Amino acid sequence: MRIRTAGVAVAAALALAVAGCGGSDPAPTTDPKDLRAELTWWDTSDPTNEGPAFKELIAKFNQTYPNVKINYQSVPFGEAQNKFKTAAQAQAGAPDILRAEVAWVPEFASLGYLYSLDGSDLLADESDYFATPLSSNKFNGKTYGVPQVTDSLALLYNKKIFADAGITAAPKTWAEVKTAAATIKAKTGVDGLFINSGGYFLLPFIYGEGGDLVDTASKKIVVNSDKNVAGIKVAQDLVNSGAAVKPPANDSYGTMMTLFKENKVAMIINGPWEVNNVKGAPAFGGLSNLGIAAVPAGSAKAGAPVGGHNYVVWSGVPADKTAAAIAFVKFMNSAESQATLATKLGLLPTRKSAYNIDAVKNDPIISAFKPVVDAAAARPWIPEGGQFFGPLDTMATEVLVQNKDAKASLDDVAAKYKAEVVPSYT
């Protein structure tokens, strides 16, 4: 497969690659001005809330590497996975560098679309990365990316609404959420909770009962297990009881964020990527009004999925561009760059050393999210992992919007997994 020879090509090219991008990195082995290339980068972040900060980092990169031109392209997240696969398969139109969702990396690697970075300068300080986000870049014993940002889901809440309702602490279980929602509604008239009708956002309910989607060790589909049915019923009951707003059939996520920013719902389940959005909402009251807590627990535990994005290099990048691609990723993913994104956007660094930088260490939002991520559960890092969520999204809509039986809907997901996603699993 091309993927193996590509890894060798990277290692060879990196013998001359520039190493000095972060403040603590060793001195460059060549003059950065001698590095010449034109690279295309697909950025899958939110173009309004996050894109400008990445563009600022590119401008800073070019202060050191003036002859490396970065063709920045903002690609909608929902389109990027299939768009990249189509371009990579055709060997035309694929970006040199991609900001890939964590679940995409094993899939792309299995198809031969990514360079193996083993032996490259990007992994010279591999131990500085937290193990769980780094694990999403591993496939068949090789490493195909570096973690750009990590995240998880948390309970976000409106501190003023809580205070008005006389609630002094974030609820720690779904049962406490139900009680708190009733109190909030009775005392303030505001709805208590909004659960987005997306499969990813129901994982805390599944994990809370000790469930999962598949058992990779035994190659077994467990998405319709009794544990998962119990977890989904908890979410369904929150909606049916009125503790949570019934989500609309269309644009559930956008509705959730609008209601939260306009102080019309007290609690949502969401991640750090929305911090900048909430910060800029005129009516919300600033980040001082934003409460952050671990997702509430089910009968077994409190659990939320590991999310995030990784930098990967397309296996079709010409050898004469490789050194520049590595230098660019190394700069964009240095501890200093991660700290910049953390303080500007509320994104969580994947490097341990980034948390020692004062701006990150003293940031209350980052401090509040770090325990959430530390306790997050790694998803199944298999090539098919990115295909789990289409059927889960359908299930979430059926259960939360259409009030379909949870067991029947999860059975449909299991059948879909068997037929189209992991047919070798039992």
102/90 same-domain check: yes
Of 419, 307, 293, the closest CA to residue 367 belongs to 293
Could you give the CA distance from residue 279 to residue 274 in angstroms, rounded to a whole number? Answer: 9
Where would I find the beta strands (DSSP E) of 90-241?
97-101, 138-139, 142-143, 146-151, 154-158, 191-194, 214-215, 220-221
- Structural domain count, the chain: 2
Residue 300 lies in a domain: yes
Residue 381 lies in a domain: no
122/186 same-domain check: no
Return the percentage of the chain with pLDDT > 70, whole number.
93
Task: Give the single-character DSSP code of 344.
Answer: H
Residue 426 lies in a domain: no
CB 128 within 8 Å of CB 353: yes
130/78 same-domain check: yes
272/417 same-domain check: yes
- List the CATH number of the domain containing 146: 3.40.190.10
Look at residue 5 in the predicted model and tell me its pLDDT.
Answer: 32
Q: Which domain holds residue 360?
A: 2-151+307-374
84/126 same-domain check: yes
Tens digit of pLDDT for each residue in 238-269? 999 999 999 999 999 999 999 999 999 999 99
CB 99 within 8 Å of CB 43: yes
296/320 same-domain check: no
177/240 same-domain check: yes
392/410 same-domain check: yes
Tens digit of pLDDT for each residue in 339-390? 999 988 888 999 999 999 999 989 988 888 888 887 788 888 888 888 899 9
Could you give the CA distance from residue 78 to residue 260 in angstroms, rounded to a whole number? Answer: 23
259/354 same-domain check: no
133/167 same-domain check: no
116/173 same-domain check: no
Of 120, 122, 73, 127, the closest CA to residue 334 belongs to 122
Who contacts 195 (Cβ-Cβ below 8 Å, separation ≥6)? 201, 202, 235, 238, 239, 244, 247, 268, 269, 400
Residue 233 lies in a domain: yes
Average pLDDT of the chain, as a whole number: 90
DSSP per residue, 371-422: HHHHTPBPP--SGGGGGSHHHHHHHHHHHHTS---HHHHHHHHHHHIIIII-
Chain-centre distance of CA 140, in angstroms?
22
In DSSP terms, 119 is beta-bridged to none
Whether the pTM exceeds 0.85: the reply is no
139/158 same-domain check: no
